Amino acid sequence: MSPPLTSNEAADALRRGGVIAYPTEAVWGLGCDPFDESAVLRLLAIKQRPVDKGVILIAASRSQFDGLLDWEALTEAQRDAVLASWPGPNTWIIPTTPRVPRWITGTHDGVAVRVSAHPDVVALCDAFGGPLVSTSANLAGEPPAFTREALDPRVLARLDGVTGGETGGLASPTAIRDARTGARIRA
């Protein structure tokens, strides 16, 4: 395995349309620039995941989602519930503004988003200057990688780099909840 990318090297690769692997709260994730359609479609091809499912966006701070989330579509109590859970391993589906492309939302009218407290994610999003796509670094239907060594060689061979670091130690991927209803989409 090649030497790990620093946050700045990874951010440079992302700006060039690259797809990278990086550790998140529970598993290793695949990331790219969410506004680069060809990068997102390449990431989905690597993962063998259909575009209609949508992907998660992960950020270092709420402000990195400015202009992307339709906070006004939520009640004050719904907004408060989301914001009280961040930063942390809590992913919420929130209605979007028209700025969020269909290759991110898939067939959904919202987007799954998380403000992470994981230091490597925060450093990467800060170096990149915004949110990133975050989906588990495995082929669709295969188990996720909880360690760098467990990354699938078929996935690794198609990436532009892998960062250093370790996952946050959660035993399973983060739960996904609908901010409008509170319903759990993924336990």
Query: Greater confidence, 163 or 3?
Result: 163
Domains for the chain: give ranges and CATH numbers.
7-180 (3.90.870.10)
Helices (H), the chain: 7-15, 37-47, 76-84, 102-105, 119-128, 153-156
pLDDT of residue 2: 77
What is the Cα–Cα distance from 114 to 95, expressed in whole angstroms? 13
**pLDDT grade, residue 173 (50/70/90)?**
confident
pLDDT of residue 184: 92
pLDDT above 90 (res 17): yes
Q: What is the DSSP string of 37-73?
A: HHHHHHHHHHHT--GGG--EEEESSGGGGTTTB-GGG
Summary mean pLDDT of the chain:
95
pLDDT above 70 (res 187): no
pLDDT above 90 (res 27): yes
% of residues, the chain, pLDDT over 90: 93
Q: What is the pLDDT of residues 123-142, one digit of tens each?
A: 999 999 999 999 999 999 99
